[in-house]
A = this chain, B = another copy of it.
Amino acid sequence: MSRVSEPASRETLRLIDFYQPITQSLAQVEQILRREMQSDFPAVDAMTRYGFRMGGKRLRPALLLLTAQTLGQVQSAHLVLAAVVEMIHTATLVHDDVLDGADVRRHRPTVNRQWGNRASILLGDYLFSHAFYLAATLDSALACRLIGRATNRVCEGEIRQNDSCGNWELSEDEYYSLIDAKTAELCACCCHLGAHYAGAGEDESRRWAHYGRLIGMAFQIVDDILDMEGREAETGKSLGTDLAQQKPTLPTIHAVQQTPPDDRPTLLELLKTGANARGALEPYFLKHGSLEYARQKALAFAQQATQIAASAPVSEAQRVLEQLPLALLKRTG
């Protein structure tokens, strides 16, 4: 695990503690990633190696492996699938950074910054297709089906989000439906795969998929908050991109809803000015408690997830799954 033992942000170091029960398995996943991301073609090789170091957190593989270990044993299929979900996640990050024009991620220049948009789009495609190829090396088509469906919902969510840009009147329910597809779906898929390949039945697999979904919802809301009030030095990525892209997030949706109709045009004008509005929005957020509101919502999702994990037989991995949702709320990057 040379990657995660490098100097890293506080948050990465904290996550390592949570990954203790699956350290060995995660190291094997890293090996698979390193092997799969090799290419005989120098142009491809340099980019994939760089790209796969962007994922950083390894949260999705960890969710998959921790679920597996909570319900049984980590199998070789789990290791392959953990690499697959990380590749898919990285593919979406690489394309996201192109879409957002982001310059920095994980404290390093983004792929688009380093190689340009053309190469980044192609790298994302390469990672997507490689992930599907790797998933298909398993015996049954079930993993491909679950991963294909999840990825498709992720992409659908991204298109819907893109379409909702500038729509500051987006309802809170529409917002939840969006982040459910865009972010929570892949986390749900991870836990589903972890449970299924550990021998869990359909109902139990679905319950753990729901766990993953809840943790994904909480995670995305925290991301929204960080984009608004985080510090680039801590998050290690470009901030204010949601505003720059005119993406409605939970804090902004709440502030708009809570602002009386008379004041709303002023707020909407402010939101339209993009990333520069971060400071000017503060009074609105403070007045209506919008960031606090978002934090409470994230907490509620995290608590539901914790309850699901608490119902499983006690083990080291199970305890992590119980603590992880609330711990993720406190991340600063």
A residues sitting closer than 8 Å to B (CB atoms) are 39, 41, 43-44, 47, 91-92, 95, 98-99, 118-119, 121-126, 128-130, 132-142, 144-145, 147-149, 151-152, 154-156, 158-160, 162-164
Q: Which of B39, B91, B126, B159 is A122 in contact with, Cβ under 8 Å?
A: B159
| Residues of the B chain whose Cβ atoms lie less than 8 Å from the Cβ of A119 | 159, 162-163
Cα distance A162–B151 when bound, in Å? 26
**B122 pairs with A148, CB closer than 8 A:** no
Identify the closest chain B residue to A134 (Cβ). B148
Distance between A142 CB and nearest chain B CB, rounded to angstroms:
8
**A118 pairs with B162, CB closer than 8 A:** yes
**A152 pairs with B130, CB closer than 8 A:** yes
Distance between A331 CB and nearest chain B CB, rounded to angstroms:
27
**B95 pairs with A159, CB closer than 8 A:** no
Known A-B contacts A44-B159, A160-B41; the reply to A124 vs B125 at CB < 8 A is yes
Known A-B contacts A118-B99, A121-B121, A141-B138; the reply to A132 vs B151 at CB < 8 A is yes
Known A-B contacts A133-B148, A138-B141; the reply to A156 vs B121 at CB < 8 A is no
**B155 pairs with A125, CB closer than 8 A:** yes
| Residues of the B chain whose Cβ atoms lie less than 8 Å from the Cβ of A133 | 144-145, 148-149, 151-152
Cα distance A119–B145 when bound, in Å? 25
**A152 pairs with B124, CB closer than 8 A:** no
Cα distance A150–B47 when bound, in Å? 20
Distance between A89 CB and nearest chain B CB, rounded to angstroms:
13
Cα distance A45–B159 when bound, in Å? 10
Known A-B contacts A121-B95, A162-B119; the reply to A136 vs B126 at CB < 8 A is no
Known A-B contacts A118-B162, A162-B122; the reply to A129 vs B141 at CB < 8 A is no
**B160 pairs with A44, CB closer than 8 A:** yes
Q: Which of B126, B134, B137 is A156 in contact with, Cβ under 8 Å?
A: B126
The 7 closest A-B pairs by CB, nearest first: A133-B148, A43-B163, A136-B144, A126-B155, A129-B151, A136-B145, A132-B148
Cα distance A96–B91 when bound, in Å? 17
| Residues of the B chain whose Cβ atoms lie less than 8 Å from the Cβ of A156 | 39, 41, 44, 126
Q: Which of A137, A138, A140, A152 has the most CB of B within 10 A?
A: A152
**A125 pairs with B160, CB closer than 8 A:** no
Distance between A236 CB and nearest chain B CB, rounded to angstroms:
24
Known A-B contacts A149-B133, A152-B129; the reply to A159 vs B124 at CB < 8 A is no
| Residues of the B chain whose Cβ atoms lie less than 8 Å from the Cβ of A142 | 136
Q: Which of A43, A134, A144 has the most CB of B within 10 A?
A: A144
Known A-B contacts A119-B162, A162-B118; the reply to A129 vs B155 at CB < 8 A is yes
Cα distance A164–B122 when bound, in Å? 14
Distance between A35 CB and nearest chain B CB, rounded to angstroms:
14
**B126 pairs with A129, CB closer than 8 A:** no
**A126 pairs with B152, CB closer than 8 A:** yes
